[in-house]
Amino acid sequence: MKSLETHLRAQRAAGVKSLVPYFMAGLTPDWVQHVHAAVAGGASAVEIGLPFSDPMIDGVVIQEAGLRSLASGTTFDTTCSALGDQELAVPLVAMTYYNIFHHYGLRASARRLQDAGISGTIVPDLSVEEAEPWREACHDGDVSTVFLVAPSTPPERVIRIVAMSEGFVYASARMAVTGQAETVGDAPDVVARVRDACDLPVLAGIGIATPALAHEAAQSADGVIVGTALVRRILDGASPLDTERAVAEFRRALA
């Protein structure tokens, strides 16, 4: 079993809900400090966005963060170099679009991720139908490939997706791009459908904007992914300490 799954299963066994905040690599000069702050605030793992010029499943906040990051010269390599030096107590999961790895080379990407201490990837435009070359490239190392299940996914596809997903299954809470919402949407239903199909940890994400929503979503899910709500704050000038406090608030709501 790869380390991401081991870690998240251990959390579940200990009765701890997983909290996975998302940060855009290179968004601010001190972006790595935000990652550390999130860990200090109680993150179970941290999702690292690698910016892409054409983020088709991201809403305006993550789009803006990605463009700003690209404008300051962020690349896959600079991100891995910045993270490779860090001692972090939790797993890191890279979130990006397939062209970044496709262009860098699949095997080279998998090696680079592993060398930087990144133990999983979420690549939303990589369908299970197209994923075999990427899974093959990651097969021998410790980089897990996480797949999403959407509210629109029919039961037979859920079975196929969870069979390929490693680490956890990302339960998409709504038919929407990333952003902030006022309800947990379809999260309970999607989580239940994933649970029927497998025993992997299930994390809910997309639109989980507040600690209260995180609490509600975690009634069914093993944990939550919180992206836009934190990135919005950083775009507005939040310091690492602000991030730590915000993450800690989510952590308290999950207790």
Partner 1 sequence: MAEQREFMTAPDEFGRFGDFGGRFVPEALMPACLELEEAFQDAWADPDFLAEYEGVLSEFAGRPTPVTFLQRLSESLGLRIYAKREDLAHTGSHKINNVVGQTLLTARMGKSRVIAETGAGQHGVATATAAARMGLECTVFMGEVDTKRQELNVFRMELLGATVVPVTSGSRTLKDAVNEALREWVSCVDTTHYCLGSVMGPHPFPWMVREMQSIIGREAARQLRDLRVGVPDYVVACVGGGSNAAGIFAGFANTGARLIGVEAAGGAAISHGTPGVLHGMRSHIIQDEFGQIEEAHSISAGLDYPGIGPEHAYLSAIGRATYVSVGDEPIIGALRTLSELEGIIPALESAHAVAWLIREAGREIPHGSSVLLNLSGRGDKDVAQVLSILRGAS
Residues that bind partner 1 (CB under 8 A): 52-57, 59-60, 63, 67, 70, 75-76, 97-100, 102-104, 124-127, 129-130, 147-154, 157, 161, 172, 175-177
Query: Is 225:47 a contact under the CB 8 Å cutoff?
Result: yes
Q: DSSP assignment, residue 206? A: S
CB of 148 to partner 1, least distance (A): 5
63 vs 210, beta carbon nearer partner 1: 63
CB of 15 to partner 1, least distance (A): 30
Rounded to a whole number of angstroms, the CA Rg of the chain reads 16
CB of 212 to partner 1, least distance (A): 23
Q: In this structure, what token pair is assigned to residue 221?
A: 């899910």
71 vs 241, beta carbon nearer partner 1: 71
**Bridge partner residues of 204 (DSSP):** 171, 224
> Phi/psi at 99 (nearest 5 deg)?
-60, -30
Rounded distance between C-alpha atoms, residue 31 and residue 43, angstroms:
15
90 vs 100, beta carbon nearer partner 1: 100
> Token pair 């890279």 is at which residue?
94
Pick the catalytic residue from 47, 166, 222, 244.
47
Question: Is 222 among the residues known to form the active site?
Answer: no
Question: Is 58 among the residues known to form the active site?
Answer: yes
Pick the catalytic residue from 58, 186, 216, 222.
58
Sign for the CA dihedral angle at 9, 14, 19, 25 comes to negative
Catalytic residue set: 47, 58
